[in-house]
Amino acid sequence: MTVEKHLEASCLKLALERRHHRVLTDISCSFKPFELTAVVGPNGAGKSSLLQCLAGVLAPTVGHIELNGEAVEQISAAERARRSAYLPQSETPAWSLSSADLVALGLLPWGRPADRERRVAAALQLVDAQQFAHRPVTQLSGGELRRVQLARLLVGEAPLLIADEPTAALDIRHQLQLMQNFRRQADAGKTVVLALHDLSLAARYCDRILLLHDGHLRAQGTPEDVFTPALVGDVYGVSCEFRWRDGVADFVPLDLL
C-alpha cells in the first residue's frame, strides 16, 4: 500500500515559535533519497523541533514542509504515516505490551500484513533484540527499550525515517550496529534523518550534516565541509580536532573556549 518508494522532504523558509519564543528561524533544506543526514548542534539548538516539524508533530509558524513536492498539510494523517516513520527523543511506555507487540505497532499504517510476525522478528534481529520479543517493555533496561523502539521505527515501509538521538542510550556495539543499519537503509533508497550528538558517528556514517545553532541553520554540507574546528568550535564553544583515519572520523573536544 506504500504510495512512494522514494521521498524527498523539503523545509521551505521554516520558522517555529514555542510558547512565544522563536526556536527555529528561516530554515531551508532538503532531505533526499539515498542520503543519511545528521542534524547536529548544541542543547536547545532546535534539532528536536526541526525533526518534529518534519514528522508532522509540530506545525511550523512560518513556511512549510513538502513531501515529494506536496505540502504536508494537504496529506492525510494515515498517508503521512505511510510516508514517514518517526522516533522521538524519549518515550516512556504507557502499558506493558510485549516487545513484539510494540514493534508491530510500526506496521499499523499498512494494516495487518500476512507476514507480520516474520517482519517483527526481522526488525528485532536488526537491533539485536530478538531475545526480548516476549518480554514486557516495562521490564527492559533503558538501552534495551530503545533498541525495541528502534525496531518499531525500522519495521515498516515508510521511505522517510526520522530518529531523534537514536544512539543516545546504546552501548558502543549497538551504536555501531544501528548506524550500519541506517546506512544500509539509506543505501537502499530511504531518506534518513537523525539528530545526533556524537559527531564522530555523524562524520563516519552520514552523507550530509545540518549544523543548527540557536534555531538557525549555521551550515549544511558534507562532514568534511561542516566539521571544521573553526565552525564547530564557534558553535559549541570548544576547541576541537577532527582526526580522519581510513574514513573513520575521530572527533576530539580539547577544551572550553
Ligand X SMILES: Nc1ncnc2c1ncn2[C@@H]1O[C@H](COP(=O)(O)OP(=O)(O)OP(=O)(O)O)[C@@H](O)[C@H]1O
Smallest distance from the beta carbon of 17 to ligand X, in angstroms?
A: 9
Nearer to ligand X, 47 or 83 (CB): 47
Smallest distance from the beta carbon of 142 to ligand X, in angstroms?
A: 16
Can you name the residues that pair with 255 across neighbouring β-strands?
Answer: 239
> CB count, 10 Å around CB of 78?
10
Q: Which residues lie near ligand X (CB under 6 A)?
A: 18-19, 23, 41, 43-49, 89
Smallest distance from the beta carbon of 86 to ligand X, in angstroms?
A: 14
Whole-angstrom distance, CA of residue 217 vs CA of residue 175? 26
Smallest distance from the beta carbon of 197 to ligand X, in angstroms?
A: 7
Whole-angstrom distance, CA of residue 69 vs CA of residue 60? 17
Nearer to ligand X, 178 or 235 (CB): 235
Smallest distance from the beta carbon of 46 to ligand X, in angstroms?
A: 4
Nearer to ligand X, 58 or 121 (CB): 58
Nearer to ligand X, 55 or 103 (CB): 55
**Contact, 141 vs 114, CB < 8 A?**
no
Smallest distance from the beta carbon of 45 to ligand X, in angstroms?
A: 4
DSSP state string for the chain: --S-SS--EEEEEEEEEETTEEEEEEEEEEE-TT-EEEEE-STTSSHHHHHHHHHTSS--SEEEEEETTEEGGGS-HHHHHHHEEEE-S----SS--BHHHHHHGGGGGG---TTHHHHHHHHHHHTT-GGGTTSBGGGS-HHHHHHHHHHHHHSS--SEEEEESTTTTS-HHHHHHHHHHHHHHHHTT-EEEEE-S-HHHHHHH-SEEEEEETTEEEEEE-HHHH--HHHHHHHHTEEEEEEEETTEEEEEEEEE-
Nearer to ligand X, 62 or 105 (CB): 62
Smallest distance from the beta carbon of 95 to ligand X, in angstroms?
A: 24
